[in-house]
A and B are shown apart, each in its own frame.
Chain A
Amino acid sequence: MPKENPAIEQKVTYLEEIEAINLLKYGYAA
């Protein structure tokens, strides 16, 4: 993996945001 790769970083951020939204919805359910 290159030291700086904006495309990969964007994908990781996207996955992290999905996980964060899942947690938000589970918090809403709880």
Chain B
Amino acid sequence: MAHNALEKRIQQLEDIESIKCLKFDYAEGCDVVANQNNLGPLLKVFTEDAVWDGGAFGKHVGKAAIKEFLSGIPAMLTYSMHYFMNARISVDNDQAEGRWYLLAFFTDVEGNDLVLIGIEDDVYKRVDGKWLIDSMTLTTHSQAPLSEGWHAAVSELFGSK
């Protein structure tokens, strides 16, 4: 096999691994916002023009708008823990797309424990050699108190069988 082709295959594997690490940074950054009132790590994962589309949580365009939205999170949540799983990542040179399953646990300021189930569709861009999130679109299946469960929301989405 030609030298160049093998290098491309290795680069592809490295890019996928880098994007997985980027998403781990995003998850940790989300939790640091709620748990430590620190926006710094999360803002580092976005491009300047990034779009954060949280559906019912609003669509925020540009890093400044994302920062403004995030600054309100600690007043709503006292705890959060995000889990991203089942990554499907495709890379095309300096752009990539990813789909992740999301399971997140929260405690709101009134002491309610909440569970969020959803899907995140991302677009990534390589900027100055570093992968960043250029857009994130959240599709929420359910966000409800743990005591209520998710059956009501998912029945509405997919019907009861």
Q: How many A-B residue pairs have CB under 8 A?
A: 30
Query: By the criterion CB–CB under 8 Å, are A3 and B3 in contact?
Result: yes
Using CB atoms and an 8 Å cutoff, list the residues of chain A in contact with chain B.
1-5, 8-9, 12, 15-16, 19, 22-23, 26-27, 29-30
Name the 9 nearest CB pairs between A and B, nearest first. A26-B86, A3-B3, A12-B9, A15-B13, A26-B88, A29-B86, A9-B1, A12-B10, A23-B88
Binary interface profile of B, 2-32, with partner A (CB < 8 Å = 1, else 0)?
1100110110010010000000000000000
Interface pair A9/B86, CB less than 8 Å apart: no
User: Measured between alpha carbons, how far is A27 from B86 in the docked complex, in Å?
Assistant: 9
Closest to A4 in B: B1
Give the interface SS of chain A, mostly helix, strand, loop or mixed. Answer: helix
Say yes or no: B88 contacts A16, CB within 8 Å: no
Chain B, Cβ-Cβ closest to A8: B6
Interface magnitude class on chain B:
10 to 19
B117, CB-defined interface residue at 8 Å: no
**Pair B1/A16 contact, Cβ less than 8 Å:** no
B120 to chain A, nearest CB (A): 14
Q: Can you give 24 A-B contacts (C-beta < 8 A)?
A: A1-B3, A1-B6, A1-B7, A2-B3, A3-B3, A4-B1, A4-B3, A8-B6, A9-B1, A9-B6, A12-B6, A12-B9, A12-B10, A12-B13, A15-B13, A16-B9, A19-B13, A19-B16, A22-B87, A23-B88, A27-B88, A29-B86, A29-B101, A30-B86
Considering only residues 75-114 of chain B, those with a C-beta below 8 Å from chain A are 86-88, 101
